[in-house]
Structure 1
Amino acid sequence: KANIMDFEVQSVIGRGKHAKVVLCKHNKTGRAYAIKVLLKSKKDPNAEILTENSMIESLILRQMAHPFIVTLYSAFQGKERLYLVMEYVSGGELYFHVSQYGRFEESRAHFYAAEIVLALEYLHAKNIVFCDLKLENIMLSRTGHVKLTDFGMARQLDATGRWYIDRNCTLEYMAPEVLLGAPFHFTSDWWSFGIVLFEMISGYHPFYCEDRERICELITTGVVEYPETVSAPARDLMRGLFVRNAEKRLGRAGHAARHHAYFQGVDWDAVLNLRPPPFVPELTNECDIRFFDEQFTSEPVNDWTPVRPSMLMSPTEAESRFTNFSYNAHPLV
């Protein structure tokens, strides 16, 4: 089975509250991978939640086989950390591209939107709610196609078809019903999709404010103002996605977003088969990190990788602490 000593860390490429993502090369094959590293900390007041999230992320990702969702290759652990070995999506986050280069032309946003629609439909067909759709969790592959990443907040719904989320999800993308205490459902993902589409086309968030209480107020009662650059079909699509009554929101059962006029003429089979993209990242090699923020890539990597074999765990010891976390279905070649 794989362990962290099989890899050479190249750079930090992402960071959250309780985890980092590092770019690594496999020692034997030289192939690049993105490894999400989560600290085990019994002292952390959120330790139980973090453990549950990491377990669920591993279980959900191993079910995924879709061109617009990141691939999980392996999951293992050491005495102090959990590791998720995923494909390295070298084109960077959509957030990086919008923040560094400005809003997208609507034709480019339309291209990505169609791919995101298929990814969400795939998840929902498996009874999975993504729960944290945002520009930071949508990345570009080296061939110019989207990949949904970071399934730490995702959940597979139970028989009730609903899930009450914790407050670790990103406030700015939460649907109004969730803020008001209702359970998360598929339609909540479609609200977040509307936010993502608005940001791609306009370059800014429709409800952003420095005051978090004011953000909540804007999400639940505010009026969305659309810039002149937004086309009429895009505006109408977002109006349907921003309906505050989840039972009447576009994306609910029988009212799929893909059937809206904004997507009229889209060949969905061509989308799934990776039609030519409007933008392909220029990369010099497999480990190119030019599309990742320097606030991450400038961080030291030493604190996040063990240098002693004693920090590893035997398979038996690992499974006794985090049952079913380990996964090794894909060969690391």
Structure 2
Amino acid sequence: MEEEMAVDHVPEEPAADVVLEEEPHESSAGGWPRAEDMAVDESVPEEYVEEEHMADIVRDEEFPYEREEAAPAKQQEEGLMGSTAEDDYASDSESAMDETSAFIVPTDETGNNAANARSLSDSDVETGDDNAALQTRTAKSRVLSQRYEVLKIVGEGAYGLVMKCRRRKDNQYVAIKEFKIEDDDPDADDVRRTSQREVQLLKELQHRHVVTFIEDFHVDDRLFIVMEFVPCNLLEVLESHVGGLDREMIRSVIFQLVSAMVFIHNKNIVYRDIKPENLLVTDSGEIKLCDFGFARHFSRPNETLTDYVATRWYRAPELLLGPPWKEQGKQVSLPYGPAVDMWAIGCLMGELVDGEPLFAGDSDIDQLYKIQKVQGAIPKHQWELFSRNPNNTGIVFGVKEPLTLRRRYAGKLNDVELDFLEGLLRLDPETRLTGPQCLRHPYLKNLASEDV
């Protein structure tokens, strides 16, 4: 009989996932899905559509975009190209800042973009009734139209949207992420800081497994970030491979992701939001990490962070011990570092094996419970911190005999693969595999030598 946990579960409403799309290619390699199978709605924001008062916006007739069927989207906690952290414990300004970076296309039960990913209506944008607003709208459209042709929306949320566009000078497809920053918005400062930080990090992190930054520009209250366009994300790949990916595909994904993390951590940056939606995938199976809204710099290699982050299902146990609290008038925070990214890679690897999230908690407490059901009790020092936290008063975990990863993936992973996964999912961050240790592990060692 499954052990009981002395705590109520608080379900969290999942957000829909963003689906990216690319023009069809002639072939696809290595079992990766073809771009034409990853279609999205073609709606273009009304403010970017040709109108009589915006006659300078010209669409290239020799490059019409095609109408394609939308691919089903798996409901999960957060969406691609920006994340909304519904944290139980988010209370500080950094957490509030992180919650503003969502660009999500709602989906219905069929997986199609809700309301056909509608174009922005008259209620969403200023109309000709307000001359000043019309001038702003027209000016913004002119700036975009001079450089890019807007083809369709691929993601939309409270603070902006993501568009698939064509660069006019060379007809290259790009993704443009638009942040809407209005001074009268109470979250304006947070959105501004988050967007500026993402630009800074994208400029700094030029790597083959990080989405390529092209440019950024402002028009009035909008910030536009231009990046390379990649056809789909890893969540969509999982959806097209029922029961999980084959083992060589998994090894390729994990190797590329670890390589990116080694590069990022060497820059004294923690990414903090690894999940399938944030890994873009090319037709040839190359991985590109996107969405750096949660990423943070360290001023020193051994510095630790304390603000509360990460998508729950991929959140390390050291992030689940409760919010900061006061003892004897002093604030108590629980620090963490790059090891949280390595834990998330382990969670992702487990999900790729059979297509099921390894730890799918309904709340932070439930998340910690599910981790212990498989991995056993958290270390003594973590339990002491958890128990000291007044927010956790009365919570007792009744786990007696853990399932273990070896039983969870019996017959699905060999000994080398299991040893690698167990190293990533060690409860104590001090003993968890680091990026360089992963590359030296027998699971990835030959890929690392081939990549040099």
**What band does the TM-score fall into relative to the shorter chain?**
0.7 to 0.9
Kindly provide the CA deviation profile for residues 232-265 of structure 1, in whole angstroms up to 9, marking residues without a partner as x. 222211111111111111117xx61112222243
- 1:214 offset after TM fit, Å? 1.6
- TM-score normalised according to structure 1 size: 0.73
Give the conservation status (yes or no) of the 8 Å contact 2:312–2:361.
no
Report the Cα distance in structure 2 between the residues aligned to 1:237 and 1:15, rounded to whole angstroms: 38
Give the conservation status (yes or no) of the 8 Å contact 2:150–2:163.
yes
Kindly provide the CA deviation profile for residues 142-198 of structure 1, in whole angstroms up to 9, marking residues without a partner as x. 43211111111111112362222344x311111111222533411111001101111
Query: Residue 342 of structure 2 is aligned with which of 184, 190, 194?
Result: 190
Indicate the residue corresponding to 1:250 in structure 2: 433
Going from structure 1 to structure 2, the CA distance change for 1:16 and 1:234 (only over 3 Å counts) comes to: farther
Counterpart of 2:312, as a letter, is L
- 1:230 offset after TM fit, Å? 2.2
* Match runs of 1:228-307 below 5 Å: 228-251=411-434, 256-266=437-447, 268-271=448-451
Counterpart of 1:233, as a letter, is V
Give the conservation status (yes or no) of the 8 Å contact 2:320–2:364.
no
- 1:50 offset after TM fit, Å? 2.4
- 1:57 offset after TM fit, Å? 0.8
Going from structure 1 to structure 2, the CA distance change for 1:175 and 1:16 (only over 3 Å counts) comes to: farther
In terms of mean alpha carbon deviation, does 81-90 or 222-231 score higher?
Answer: 222-231
Query: Residue 137 of structure 1 is aligned with which of 278, 287, 290?
Result: 278
Of structures 1 and 2, the one with the larger relative CO (CA 8 A, separation 6+) is: 1
Indicate the residue corresponding to 2:237 in structure 1: 97
Cα-Cα RMSD: 2.3
Q: Is it true that 1:58 corresponds to 2:199 in the alignment?
A: yes
Report the Cα distance in structure 2 between the residues aligned to 1:179 and 1:125, rounded to whole angstroms: 26
Report the Cα distance in structure 1 between the residues aligned to 2:287 and 2:336, rounded to whole angstroms: 24
Indicate the residue corresponding to 1:214 in structure 2: 366
Going from structure 1 to structure 2, the CA distance change for 1:16 and 1:220 (only over 3 Å counts) comes to: farther
Counterpart of 2:443, as a letter, is Y
Q: Point out where structure 2 has 5 or more consecutive residues left out of the alignment.
A: 1-141, 322-332, 376-403
- 1:215 offset after TM fit, Å? 2.2
Give the conservation status (yes or no) of the 8 Å contact 2:313–2:360.
yes
Report the Cα distance in structure 2 between the residues aligned to 1:261 and 1:28, rounded to whole angstroms: 46
* Match runs of 1:144-159 below 5 Å: 144-159=285-300
Q: Which has the larger radius of gyration?
A: 2
Indicate the residue corresponding to 1:36 in structure 2: 177
Give the conservation status (yes or no) of the 8 Å contact 2:199–2:216.
yes
Q: Percent identity?
A: 26
Indicate the residue corresponding to 2:307 in structure 1: 165
Indicate the residue corresponding to 2:268 in structure 1: 127
Give the conservation status (yes or no) of the 8 Å contact 1:38–1:82.
yes
Counterpart of 2:354, as a letter, is S
- 1:58 offset after TM fit, Å? 0.5
Secondary structure of the equivalent of 1:62?
helix
Q: Is it true that 1:202 corresponds to 2:354 in the alignment?
A: yes
Going from structure 1 to structure 2, the CA distance change for 1:220 and 1:165 (only over 3 Å counts) comes to: farther
Q: Point out where structure 1 has 5 or more consecutive residues left out of the alignment.
A: 273-333
Query: Residue 75 of structure 1 is aligned with which of 185, 202, 216?
Result: 216
- 1:269 offset after TM fit, Å? 4.8
Give the conservation status (yes or no) of the 8 Å contact 1:26–1:32.
yes
Indicate the residue corresponding to 1:24 in structure 2: 165
Give the conservation status (yes or no) of the 8 Å contact 1:175–1:219.
no
- 1:87 offset after TM fit, Å? 0.6
Counterpart of 1:94, as a letter, is L
Kindly provide the CA deviation profile for residues 285-318 of structure 1, in whole angstroms up to 9, marking residues without a partner as x. xxxxxxxxxxxxxxxxxxxxxxxxxxxxxxxxxx
Q: How many residues of Structure 1 are paired with residues of Structure 2 in the alignment?
A: 266
Secondary structure of the equivalent of 2:261?
helix
Counterpart of 1:203, as a letter, is G
Secondary structure of the equivalent of 1:101?
coil
Kindly provide the CA deviation profile for residues 8-58 of structure 1, in whole angstroms up to 9, marking residues without a partner as x. 211222356644221111233221101111221345444333222211111
In terms of mean alpha carbon deviation, does 228-237 or 125-134 score higher?
Answer: 228-237
Report the Cα distance in structure 1 between the residues aligned to 2:144 and 2:183, rounded to whole angstroms: 22
Counterpart of 2:439, as a letter, is R
Give the conservation status (yes or no) of the 8 Å contact 2:308–2:319.
no
Report the Cα distance in structure 1 between the residues aligned to 2:336 and 2:217, rounded to whole angstroms: 30
